[in-house]
Amino acid sequence: MSNLTLDEAKSMVNADAIDKLKQMVNPKPLLNFDQKVNNDIIMSALCRAVADDVIKMKSLDERLIKLLNSSTNTLSATKVSDILVHLRKTQPNMCCVITLMTADMNTTINEWVFIGNDVYFNDIFEFVIDYFKITPSMVRQKMTTMLKTTIVNNVAQLISRYRSLNTVEEKRTLNISINTVTRLVNMSEALLMAEFKEEN
């Protein structure tokens, strides 16, 4: 075996070689999505982004790996905010895009882009109930075929409560889940989708 000169050794150290060394020293975490059943649209998007390598392994910390391997199937706005803040440390252009589309997927009705701090689903909720002119009585009439009566009543009461509030600050005190918004969109025969991606 011949000795290498310093220049020869330096020429062998390129970005690919360093990445391979990092993979050997820090193997990829084991991810198992088998427990992920009935995910909300954001959890589905998160799992898909990790599986498709949109979210890089270097961006996953122990807490996020634990979440992905757990049976947790919904993400609150606060949790989405925390995840995006963390992901943007290593992938600064990462965002979560929620898109409202017609049922045939030919027309985008609206789109919301979240980058981290201050994630709220209230704006989406308000847009959906205004755009589709959703009332509590409409919810009680249309949703009972799909959902339990208690869920239907909760959604109808949430709309009533939301409509009675005047300021953005007051409205943000109400905890709106993406599942609630998705149910209203489905009831209105439209589609709500989520995607984690790099902003341009």
What gap in Å lies between CA 52 and CA 115, rounded to an integer? 20
d(CA 149, CA 141): 11
Would residue 15 count as lying in a domain? no
Residue 6 lies in a domain: no
Read off the pLDDT band of 191 (50, 70, 90): very high
State mean pLDDT over 168-194. Answer: 94
Query: What is the mean pLDDT of the segment spanning 152-159?
Result: 96
CA angle 191, 193, 64 (to 5 degrees): 155
Look at residue 16 and tell me if it is in a domain: no
Quote the number of domains for the chain. Answer: 1
Is residue 21 one of the residues assigned to a domain?
A: no
Joined together, the tokens standing for residue 77 give 């706005």
**Which residues neighbour 138 within 8 Å (Cβ) at sequence distance 6 or greater?**
none
| Banded pLDDT at 117 (limits 50, 70, 90) | confident
Beta bridge partners of 99: 111, 193
Residue 55 lies in a domain: yes
Banded model confidence at residue 75, pLDDT cuts 50, 70, 90: very high
Q: How many CB atoms lie within 10 A of CB 20?
A: 10
User: Which residues are 191's β-sheet partners?
Assistant: 101
Residue 106 within a domain: yes
Domain encompassing residue 89? 26-198
Of 98 and 173, the structure prediction assigns the larger pLDDT to 98
Q: What's the pLDDT score for residue 72?
A: 86
Assess whether pLDDT exceeds 70 at residue 26.
Answer: no
Give the tokens for residue 102: 């017609």
Mean pLDDT (whole number) for 57-76: 89
Long-range CB contact pairs, 10-16, < 8 A, 24+: none
Supply the pLDDT for residue 146. 83
Separation CA 85–CA 200 (nearest Å): 17
Residue 105 confidence (pLDDT) above 90: yes
Number of residues in the chain: 200
pLDDT in tens, 132-154: 999 999 999 999 888 899 999 99
Q: Is 50 inside any structural domain? A: yes
Is residue 87 assigned to a domain?
yes
